[in-house]
Every structure is written in structure tokens, then in C-alpha cells.
Chain A
């Protein structure tokens, strides 16, 4: 079974199937019904009279439901359409499937309808590797229900299957022997319910069903509300409109609701293999979406804070104050074969937590949350100094303590070979990648503001400001590669420079750690041919020994990375360069129907004319989804300042006008307009341009501040 896979999801539960609606898991096709990192169905195959079906059309219009239109027979040129089959499936606590068979003949037809059902209860970590399981399986037919169970010690998971029409249930599935009248129809509801025995309360039915049809429209209503509540985009660029809408919908689909969040959501990292809380990804996505859906940031902050490290645990790479990397709920985590309950092996999530908290308050004015999370934010700041500085040199270093299943590289470029010297050698451990120091600087500066303004602690504020200034000075001295005029990717375990030229220098601009005198050189590299492909900045520059245009972190272009870089360029006043990056990424989006992938190849734009997709299993991915939002914020020059929203547009050449209406924030709702005027028609310096319309030479406060 090859070909396109279809995915539907609801929070942490999702179904991956083929275009026929069948689930038939294999190493190459990791299909299934998954919930909380366990596969609850690995086989769900429909046959009629022993024959597989053929998909005419698949309708995956909404992220939570899909419809498959099928006819009998496979792979033949002629379609003998005496019968149609429609499968409509909605996911939620399992899934509900409406199976409808239509007889187009003038005679009645007898059919044997069979669904083969099975599951391996694989942990998500096992799915690709197909590891051997240690528990026992049982399949039981009782009271009109087929229950598949997996048991290992006290760990029990089960899948319960029922049908609304009379069926013969056996241990491997269901059989319906039916007769359909001439031009008649037959339909049944199929319910598949997942159960975490002993952990979550018993559920009798999936979330949505024909009899409870009202529930599925609720998801539609919820999505409509979500979109209506987000800012409205007006632009002359149709592709940008498509991309923006796609981003909003994907962001809705990627919402993850942990049990402790009282039904509030934060962004999961990506579908389908990263549908959980990730410190780094959830924080970055929340930052990207602050001007659009700020409530994601609030939930991200709360849920990460609730799980902040409080002790030393080598297996989990946990330290007091550390923000988690990843949280998993499956069997391998439960039996501590993996450290993910949660795993803390990220060196950036902790300072970024403080960055998000401060930025969130600047946008929303929600000082209550800043006060609520004061202890956690202080803990995060303390972690930087007390636990991250492995060499005692005043930098954030990382080195995993879990050497079996922990992450070697604890920065965003977490593949094994992503941190290299110019000549291709790999440094030892620990490592101090440059962007971590930028985040630490930013966290200290912002922490000082929080301490002064909300925690009533001027002493802490003064100390943090001194530390930040100190760090900036040392960093600009220690990381600066003088002959190349750029910042080293990292310091190695001897304190020497890991001198590859990389996209990480864009994060340095974003953080503010770059001394002004060095900014121009950095920008020149970012926009130069070695890094800038025409679509975006490559993760590693051409000319570096490990450069590979299809190397995961060694030459591909990442939309999220570029959204940070563009913001960094703007921060230092390089508006036109920021706009060029935005244009490249947004142009690329058009080739993906508005859904930017995790990464695309680093080939020169002039060479390929279209962005070449890097093959990863994840789509959509949260921080790719957030990238267009952050880029919009950047090209409109949106910046909260002193309780107002400043608008300072600098649009790419390809956009005529862009307006974001009803931007939420401490001001209520506000509109921001940007228009690109031809260069010769400059507004005279003393003219009063209306506050709501500014050319790319002007700054203004956003117009029409009205509360909703």
C-alpha cells in the first residue's frame, strides 16, 4: 500500500490511513489510530465479497474528519460502478465511522462486508522500528463488542469495537451479511473507542457519532470561532491569503490539550509524530502567533511551568529550573525505557520560556500571569547560571547525562552532525552553540524588566542587567570569527571556536546580543549567496565542509528559522533585507498550497525555479505553520510599545498592500495597514499622512483602536 496518506486529528488522537480509508500498518506505511503515543489500531481493512476497494475521491476538507468515496475492484482501467461505498470518519477518543453502501443495480444484491481489525499497541517510539513487545495480547468478543487488549504488568490499553447493525464479531474483525434492495442503501455506524485502563475514566463511545451528531458540528463551530477570532488579513496577494488561512487552520489542528490544562490548548510540534508538548517548538510557535492567537502562549507558559524541573535526574537530563524538551505518554515512557515523563534534554527552552513570558506580557498586558509564574521564571533564570554553565565560563553549555536514550545535541539543530567546524570535523562535548547565548542574553534583559516592573525586585533587575551587559561583551569577543566577520556556530569543549558559518547568526540578531558594529557584517553573510538561496537562509552555508542542500540541518532551508532571522534583521533596522526573506519564504509557500513544510532543499532558487521539498514525515509542523504569521508581523513592523501597537511597514516588492485587522492585545483590537508605494512618490516630511496609512518610510501608531 503506497500512495498518499490521509490524516485526521483531534488534539492528541489521530488516524493515519490510505485514500481508501484503510489502515494497514507496515514499516513503510506507518498508518493507524493513535492516541497519547500508543497505536490502538494497526489494521482496519474493508473488503466486500473478499475484494479490496478502490478510492475514487477522498475528501479531507476538515482536519478532524474525512470522507472516502469508493467502488469495488482495484487497479483496473474499467470501473464497474454497480455499487458505491462511502466511508465517513470523525476522530475523537477513537473514531466513529459511517459506512454507507449504495446498490445501483435494478436487482437486489447479497454482500459479505468484512472489516479486518487488529492492533499491535505499538508505542510511537516503536512504530518505525517495529520493536518486539513485552506484554500480552487478548482479543475478546462479548456483548456485541470486540475488545482488543494489551497488558504488561499494570499497564493496560484496549480498543473496543462495536457496530450499530447486526454483525458477526470474531477475534479478528466484523462480518456483515447483507442484502441491499434494488437502488437501495445500507448503512452502519462503526465505533472504535480507545481506553487507558486505570489512567483515564471509562468511555463508552467515541466523541462523535451519528446519534450524537451535535458533537461534530461543535468541532466545526469551534474552528469557525477560532478563525473568526483571529485577525483578518486583507491583501492584493491571493497566495498570501491562502497561506494565512492555511496557517490558522493548521494551528487549530495542532492544538494539544494536556489533562491538566482545564481544556485549554497549546501547540503540539507537528503531525503526526510530534503531537505532544515540546518546550522549544511550543514556545517558538506561541511567539510566532502572539499577534494572532495569544491564548496559545498563555497555556504554553502555564503547562511548561507546571512541569518545570525541580530535581537532579540524569536519566531525564533534569535540573531544577529547567524547562522540558518533550513529554510522552506511551508504554516505553511508562516503563522508563525512554526518559520522556518528561525529558528535559533541551538547552534553549529554559531561557526561551522567560523570553515568551515577557513578550506575552508586552502584547497582552496580562500581568497576572507574570506574577503567577514568578517563581518559575526566577527558577529558569537561575538555571542559566547555576546548571547550564558546565564549563564555568558564563555560557550555556549542553552535554547529555543520559547516554543511552538522551539527545546528544540539545539545540534546535538536534541531528548528530549539525554542529561542525568549517572543515567538517565534529567537536566533542560539552558544546555551547551561539544562539543559546543570545537567548540567555535576551532572557536576562527581559527578566530584568519583569523583576523591576512586576516582581518588585530592583536588586535582581540590576544584577540581570549587569549580567546581560557582561555576557554581551564576552560573547562578542569569544564567538566572533575575526577573519570571516561572523559569529562561530559554537564553542567546543576547549573553549575554541566551532567556526562554521550558519543560520544561527540570524537568531543572534533576533536576541539583541550582537554589538551594533558587527551587525552589518552579519547581515551581509545572511543575505549573501553562501547562505541565502533565494528562497531563504540555509541552515549551513555553501562552502562549509558539511554543507549539503538536502542535509537535514546542514543546508536545507527552514521556514521557522527564517521567520526568526527576518525578525532579527528588522530588530537591527535592516527592513529591506527582512522583507526579502519574507518574500522568499512566502513565495515558497505558494508552491505548497499555503502549507510550508518543515524544511525544503537548499538548492539555489535560480537553479530549480521551485522549492524542492525535503522529505520528512511531519506535516503540518507547528513552527512552519507559525512562520507566515511571524513574517506578517515583521513586514508590518508590528511592535508593542508603551501600551500601544506601533506599525512600521516595510513590504516586500511583491506585495502591494497588506492589512491585518482586529489584532488582539492590551489595546483591545487594532488594525494595521501597510502599503508599498513606488519609490518616487515619497510623502513630504511635513505632511500629515493619515495614521492608518503609512508608506514604507513612515512609522505610526496603529489606527482605530477599538475594543471588541
Chain B
């Protein structure tokens, strides 16, 4: 049963090139823990394209993020805010923080938002 994290990383490769990430080149490694299982993902950002795949625990990356898998499920579905979670110490980051900032651009917003309110009324 794929987790939200699985689904998020897998669909990355199918996304359009994102102009907001055009200047970004680098790799991130995510070391996630689920119970006593560990999973590792490597995310490559290349001038607007992002691809991710499972990787070895020691796979080289300019930025390493370590945290709980369930928290990441929330982050990649917009239920948790990545920046607030970082400030909270809910996960840790080592290396190039700029890549983490770029990564946040890939994340969706929270579900069920009112958003744009034409005519001043909520949707």
C-alpha cells in the first residue's frame, strides 16, 4: 500500500518543468523512519525538473532531511507546514538549506481551503 510519501515522490517525475525551480540544481536525501523501518529517497532538482527515487542510506546529497515518515506524509499532502515543522524541530536538516526552500515549492497547500473569494464571499 503506497504511502502518501511514495505517491508524492513517484509523481514528481510526471510534473511539468517548473520555472520557479529553474535556477535550482542539487540533490536532497530524505531519511525517513516508520516504526523500525527506514526508507531513503533521493530527490534531484535540475533546472525546473524534479525526480525522486529510493536510494541507499549513504547516497550523496547536498542536503539531508531526517524525520518521521508519518510527518512527511502530512507534509507532502499539505496537512503539515514544512517550515513550521522545521522550526518545531519535528525533523532536521543538514547541508544546503536553500534546497529545502526550493523543495517547499513542490508541496501542495492544505486541503479544503476557501482560497479565492470573488465578491468578497467565501467559496
Contact = CB atoms under 8 A, between A and B. Distances in A.
A311 interface: yes
Contact of A310 (B85, B98, B105, B110): B105
Interface of A: 153-156, 197-199, 259-260, 306-308, 310-316, 318-319, 329-330, 333-336, 341-342, 372, 374-376, 378-379, 386-387, 390-392, 397, 399, 401, 429-430, 493
B11 to A, nearest CB: 16
B104 to A, nearest CB: 8
A154 B90 contact: yes
A200 B15 CA distance: 33
Given A336-B81, A399-B120, A308 B87 contact: no
Contact of A387 (B83, B88, B104, B116): B116
A499 B86 CA distance: 46
Nearest to B82: A341
A197 B114 CA distance: 36
B20 A259 contact: no
The 4 closest A-B pairs by CB, nearest first: A311-B109, A375-B19, A334-B87, A154-B89
Contacts of B114: 314, 401
Given A156-B89, A390-B117, A391-B118, A374 B108 contact: no
A155 B109 CA distance: 24
A430 B88 contact: no
Nearest to B106: A310
Q: Chain B: interface residue count, which band?
A: 20 to 34
B115 A312 contact: yes
Interface in B8-63: 19-20, 22-23
B108 to A, nearest CB: 6
Contacts of B86: 199
A410 B50 CA distance: 35
Contacts of B115: 312, 314, 319, 401
Interface in B94-123: 97-98, 101-102, 104-105, 107-110, 113-120, 122
A311 B120 contact: no
B120 A397 contact: yes
Contact of B101 (A306, A312, A336): A306
Nearest to A157: B89
20 contacts: A155-B88, A155-B89, A260-B101, A307-B101, A308-B20, A311-B109, A314-B113, A319-B116, A334-B84, A334-B88, A334-B89, A335-B84, A341-B83, A341-B87, A375-B19, A386-B116, A390-B116, A401-B113, A401-B122, A429-B120
Given A155-B89, A375-B20, A306 B110 contact: no
Contact of B119 (A310, A372, A391): A391
A306 B98 contact: yes
Given A336-B81, A399-B120, A313 B109 contact: yes
Contacts of B78: 311, 313
Contacts of A156: 89
B92 interface: yes
A318 B110 CA distance: 11
Contacts of B97: 259-260
Contact of A335 (B83, B88, B113): B88
Given A314-B113, A334-B84, 12 more contacts: A153-B89, A199-B87, A306-B101, A310-B20, A310-B104, A311-B78, A312-B116, A335-B84, A372-B23, A391-B120, A399-B117, A399-B120
Of residues A311, A316, A336, A374, which shows the largest number of chain B Cβ atoms within 10 Å of its Cβ? Answer: A311
Nearest to B102: A306
Of residues A154, A315, A336, A374, which shows the largest number of chain B Cβ atoms within 10 Å of its Cβ? Answer: A154
